Amino acid sequence: MSEPQDTKKRPLNLAEYYLLTCLDHHGKLLTQSHTVRVGLAGAILTDLARRECLYVTQELVMVNSTADVDLEEPLAAVLQIMTDAPENQDAEHWINRFSRPALMDAIIEALQVRGDIAVMTKRFFGLVPRTRYVPEESYGRMDMYVRLRATLLGRDTALDASTWPLVQLLYSTDVLTRLFPGLQNKTVKERLEAFHMEAAQEEPAIAESLQAVENAMAESLTATRGQATGMRG
């Protein structure tokens, strides 16, 4: 199936950044696939809220019917599902609804079309097929890595609309310290607290959205694993 040309030209969205960041250079996920799918669902909700398509609070997620935004897939499909729902639901409901393989598959397909990853399937010992999503050395991936590192080390203190939510999503799903193993949890927590304080003043709607999504992801992961999720503070 042919993809529209703007798939290759548009900037990466938050879910695409998140998935690229969850891959090592061999194409293996840095954590369990379900955890990544929960993170992707959280990234989609956060991105839709950031684009003012959703109002996300601790109690409910509501569609902004007045929003006039040109969305790419799968964001457009997700928003349509939420719009068609008979009643409003909380963030945890939607995290559970969208943390399924279909959403991750759609994001992988978009990244493959863009040339950001190469999908490879190999058989180990001739029996078990394993799929790897090998990231290409694209500008988008390298740029985000540099921005993440600068943000976490305190060299870039600006409240970035992409980097700050991505750091929070990676932290919430226990990927951040695997991506930057030399980082201290205390340092990361201090940086996130500083961003939250600034965001509460400058971007209160996004700050509340991200907090609601973070809490919903924690509940979803706890319910699935039946144990602590690694969420902190």
Domain assignment present for residue 1? The answer is: no
What is the residue whose two structure tokens read 């970035």?
160
Mean per-residue pLDDT for 64-68?
92
Report H helices in 51-90. 75-84
Residue 37 lies in a domain: yes
Q: Which domain holds residue 218?
A: 6-224
Q: Is residue 211 part of a domain?
A: yes
Q: Does residue 140 lie within any of the structural domains? A: yes
> Looking at the domain assignment, is residue 231 inside a domain?
no
Kindly give, in sequence order, each residue whose CB lies less than 8 Å from that of residue 54, ignoring residues fewer than 6 positions away.
45, 48, 61, 62, 63, 64, 79, 82, 209
Q: Is residue 126 part of a domain?
A: yes
Mean pLDDT across the chain: 84
For residue 163, report the phi and psi dihedrals to the nearest 5 degrees. Answer: -70, -45
Length of the chain: 233
Any domain includes 230 = no
Task: Check which CATH number belongs to the domain holding 125 and give it.
Answer: 1.10.3630.10
Can you tell me the distance from the alpha carbon of 50 to that of 17, in angstroms, rounded to the nearest whole number?
Answer: 15
Structural domain includes residue 146:
yes
How do residues 111-140 score in pLDDT, each as one tens digit?
Answer: 999 889 998 887 666 666 778 888 887 777
Positive or negative, the Cα torsion across 227, 212, 105, 117? negative
Q: Per-residue pLDDT for 185 more than 70?
A: yes
What is the total count of domains within the chain?
1
pTM of structure: 0.86
Q: What residues form DSSP beta bridges with 54?
A: 63
pLDDT band (50, 70, 90) for residue 191: confident
